Structure 1
């Protein structure tokens, strides 16, 4: 009885937080400028190329050349920040706003041993995570276990946010797909750089919420086994924007009017059906099974108002051999209270990978 009441409290907290952040007049809704026109059509084509045949993927990715500055350094660890030109195709580069065309990263590393005897995990951003700080706090304690942290700032976020965009509220539906496409290409290039240029013995990718969806895609598309850790993540953006709390933060009337400019007047239900169709491109269950599904650990929340349980379980079902772990809480409370569980999952997933053989 007590457990049920606690679970309900976490669920209610998600809805209270969602109402405050997404449903007040002071808050701009998602997609306040519509679908995105020709950009959306371009991105639908690009994303369809990501699956289902991994053999068709461009690998290795474009070489990146980060420019670094040291933020701080101690006897045992070092934090650097870097910038590199996004390795996206020219089509995607032109679709990105100018502010988003250079990727920003933070790289937190231990100094105790050579990279070939260490692991590194790339941390991807959840919705609204504009800075490096939260993910650096998540990865920081892992330095003691010789696990480095690479944090990628997403396009449309932080210093890569377009001038006209308020907070995390993307202006067009096409921006969501563009954000995801660019993040995947940048993360894949970073993993390749960590593997080939730096020489880490193991690598992985993790993310929370939206970042978890992107992490799952990256882990799916990577040609060699890596640890893949989606936290509090749906199997598709359809769940977040059409089923969860974010459906109340979406400018449905704007999308309806924008869609009606291209065809006969649309009903609200037709608009939502079109949204489901577009966002079905983000369905991770349609992506290839990762090379080592045993190194995939999903962490879901028992009372998540944003991400229902069935969505997490659909991912596990699509990737036999993967593991789901549950933390007690909602989306917001788990984000705040369960970092130790996320860290434990990172360590366990990396432990399920073999060490890369050292070159002779």
Structure 2
């Protein structure tokens, strides 16, 4: 009975948090400016290539990512650097991205005196609303004792890359969500390529929470060599979050219905069905199986108000050999309370690359 009540409490906490963040009028809802017009058409055609493992680029392209680094702080044993680089996306995608997102930022936390070939490094991708480096650096910092470095990518549309008219994490158009994903995938792949071929790291991985977990799964799917892949508290598709989960209450359905680029007479139900169709492009089960599915560990929450259980299980089913681990809690409480479980999954997945 106590366990059941705690599960309900975690689930209710997610809904209370979601109601405050997504049902209040403190900020505009997601997609208040509609579908995105020609940008949406462009992204739909580009992302479909991912399902066959095609990136639209020759791999690895020379000079894909070459960060320019500066030291933020250092101790006798550890150094934190920040780097900038031009997004490696093709011209069409760069033209669709806001100017603020053309240059990427990354933080890199690593030991000073351990040779890279004796280490691992994990690229941490941002969840919804994670505009800074700090949360992910805190998650990764204790892994230094395991000789695991942490690289944190600032997402397009977030932090210093956020468009001037965008409020917080509330993307203006549906096409922005796909642009964010496309650019994140290419930038993360570029950083992994840099770690492998320029820095000389022995093992690599990619992880992320929630939205970042979806992107981590996509990167792990598309990277040409085996890497550890760690989606945490993430759905198998953004359609789950925006059409089934709490985020549906923070979506501008009326603005989407009225968008002149769509049929003028669309009903709300038709708009929601159109959203499911568009966001099916983010369905990771349609992506290729990673090169080493045994090094894929999903961590899901038992009472997640944002992500239903079936979503994590669909990913595991699509990628035979992968593992799902369950933590007790909801989306918010698990994010706050289960960092040790996330770190253990990172260590275990990297060990499976041996």
If the length of structure 1 is used for normalisation, what is the TM-score? 0.96
Distance 1:104 1:246, change over 3 A: same
Structure 1 stretches of 4+ moved >6 Å: none
Structure 1 position 263 matched with structure 2 position 263 = yes
2:124 pairs with 1:123: yes
Rounded to whole Å, the distance in 2 between the matches of 1:287 and 1:328 is: 29
Q: How many residues align?
A: 353
Does the 8 Å contact 2:258/2:264 carry over to 1? Answer: no
Give the aligned partner of residue 357 of structure 1. Answer: none
Give the aligned partner of residue 7 of structure 1: 7
1:144-155 equivalences in 2 (<5 Å): 144-155=145-156
Q: Please name the residue that 1:314 is paired with.
A: 314
Q: For residue 331 of structure 1, what is the aligned residue in structure 2?
A: 331
- Name the counterpart of 1:72: 73
Counterpart for residue 158 of structure 1: 159
Structure 1 gap segments, 5+ residues each: 355-360
Do the aligned partners of 1:50 and 1:57 also contact (CA within 8 Å) in 2? no
Shift of 1:50: 1.1
User: Residues of 1 paired with 2:25 and 2:142: CA distance?
Assistant: 40
Contact 1:285 1:318 in 2 (8 A): yes
- Secondary structure class of the residue paired with 1:80: strand
Q: TM-score if structure 2 supplies the norm length?
A: 0.98
**Mean Cα displacement is larger for which, 92-101 or 20-29?**
20-29
Distance, in Å, in 2 between the alignment partners of 1:150 and 1:25 is 35
CA distance in 1, matches of 2:286, 2:324: 19
Question: C-alpha deviations, 1:53-86, integer Å up to 9, x for none?
Answer: 4597631145222111100011111000000000
3-state DSSP class of the match of 1:239? helix
> CA, structure 1 residues 55+250, in 2 after alignment: closer, same or farther (shift >3 Å)?
closer
Structure 2 partner of 1:295:
295
For the residues of structure 1 that align with 2:14 and 2:310, how far apart are their CA atoms? 18
> Cα 1:56–1:164, aligned 2, differ >3 Å: closer, same or farther?
closer
Check the 8 A contact 1:54/1:288 in 2, yes or no.
no
- Counterpart of 1:39 in structure 2 is 39
* 1:247 counterpart residue number: 248
Residues 223-266 of structure 1 show CA distances to partners (whole Å, capped at 9, x for unaligned) of: 1110000000000000000000000000000000005x542410
> Per-residue displacement from partner, 1:92-129 (whole Å, max 9, x unpaired)?
00100000000000000012410000000000000000
Contact 1:238 1:276 in 2 (8 A): yes
Q: Residues 293 and 319 of structure 1 are in contact (CA less than 8 Å); yes or no, is this contact kept in structure 2? A: yes
Q: What's the Cα RMSD here?
A: 1.1
For 2:253 and 2:202, locate their aligned partners in 1 and report how far apart those are by CA, in whole Å. Answer: 47
1:229 matched residue in structure 2: 230
* Alignment check: 8 A CA contact 1:293 1:322 kept: yes
| Secondary structure of residue in 2 paired with 1:51 | helix
Per the alignment, in what secondary structure is the counterpart of residue 259 of structure 2?
helix
Contact persistence 2:49–2:55 (CA under 8 A): no
| Partners of 1:97 and 1:234 in 2: CA distance | 27
Aligned partner of residue 50 in structure 2, secondary structure: coil
**Structure 2 spans left out of the alignment, 5+ residues:** none
Partner of 1:58: 58
The equivalent of 1:216 in structure 2 is: 217
Determine if contact 2:53/2:222 at 8 Å carries over to the other structure.
Answer: no
Distance 1:234 1:55, change over 3 A: closer
Cα distance, 1:56–1:34 mapped onto 2, change above 3 Å? closer
* CA displacement 1:211-230 (0-9 Å, x = unmatched): 00000000000111100000
